[in-house]
Amino acid sequence: MEDDVDDVQPSHIPPPTNSNTTFCTCAVAPLPPYASRDIELAETHANESGGLLYSANANAVALSNPPTLTYASKLSSKRGLRAIVIFIICMFLLVLHLRAESAKKKRHQLIHDGLAWADITPSKRCLRYGTREYSAQLMGVPRGEHGLRWCKEKEITIHGIDFEKPGYCTVDRDYSVPTKRRFYGHWTVESNEPSCKTLWENFQDKGCVAKGSMRRRIEAHMGNHQPPWDNWREMCSTTPADYDGHHFDQPDSCDHRVRGIGTLWLA
């Protein structure tokens, strides 16, 4: 009987009490019945879509490709492509320009090399002391080209002196053939022209200009003058003289006399 009594456990024995322990007899709310099912569906959907899970709160997750960044990237790409296209077009135009300039220079050189001066002729008259004008006809100007422009660019050699271009150019028109024109260049040559070198001869000392003036009047006659072509004033005013150890670049005055050209120095 004692064994039976010992084996019998009370149906309810209150737990030991402890002043430091607090017990809550409220019931714990169970999980929503749909939570586990939703998780399973989400996992299945994630496996099928490549492992991407999306939050139920869209505002709490930052977008991986914001619209502003995508627009800026596209805009930058368009600008870069546009710059490349513009650069290619500019380079293409530059190449065309350089080729055109090269072809133009070659054509210019070919025409220039084909030009020549013919019939180099000295003028009958002297321009001034030791100076004469020469002229020549320009040959080889292609049809349709500007002859005067080519005339001003063609060089020549006269008396061993090189002239890069004429002093001026003229056009001689053949009115019987309106399209036929002849172009002439003109040069001023100041060397090796002995017929243009006038000189002074028969010097005469006329004494003092005035009492106490300390200046003497010297007169002479101009020789090697070639009328009627030479301009006597130009020749007289540019002819130098050497007299009594003095050099004069030009006379003080010139006179046209019956016996020729006279001049005056005040020395």
pLDDT recorded at residue 60: 47
Reduced to 3 DSSP states, what percent helix, strand and coil does the chain have, rounded to the nearest 5? 30, 30, 40
Which of 200, 192, 184 shows the shortest CA–CA distance to 131? 192
> Can you give the pLDDT at residue 8?
44
pLDDT at position 167: 96
Burial group, residue 166, by CB count within 10 angstroms (0-12, 13-18, 19+): buried
* Three-class SS state of 146: coil
pLDDT at res. 166:
96
Say which residue the tokens 């010097």 belong to: 203
CB-based contacts of 115, cutoff 8 Å, min separation 6: 138, 139, 140, 141, 150, 154
* Residues 6+ positions from 111 with CB-CB distance below 8 Å: 142, 145, 150
Residue 104 has what pLDDT?
84
62-72 tens-digit pLDDT = 445 556 667 67
Q: Do residues 136 and 156 lie in contact, with contact meaning Cβ atoms separated by under 8 Å? A: yes
Rg of the chain (C-alpha set): 58
What pLDDT score does 5 carry? 42
pLDDT tens-place values along the chain, 267 residues long: 444 444 444 444 455 554 444 444 545 555 555 455 555 655 565 555 555 545 555 454 444 555 666 767 777 788 888 888 899 999 999 999 888 888 888 988 899 999 999 999 999 999 999 999 999 999 999 988 889 999 999 999 999 999 999 999 999 987 676 667 899 999 999 988 999 999 999 898 888 888 877 888 888 999 898 888 888 899 999 999 998 888 989 888 888 876 666 676 665
How far is the first Cα of the chain from the last one, in angstroms, to the nearest whole number? Answer: 182
- Taking only the tens place, the pLDDT of each residue in 23-44 is 445 455 555 554 555 556 555 6
Pairing status of strand 116-128 against strand 131-139? antiparallel
Regarding pTM above 0.85, the answer is: no
pLDDT of residue 47: 57
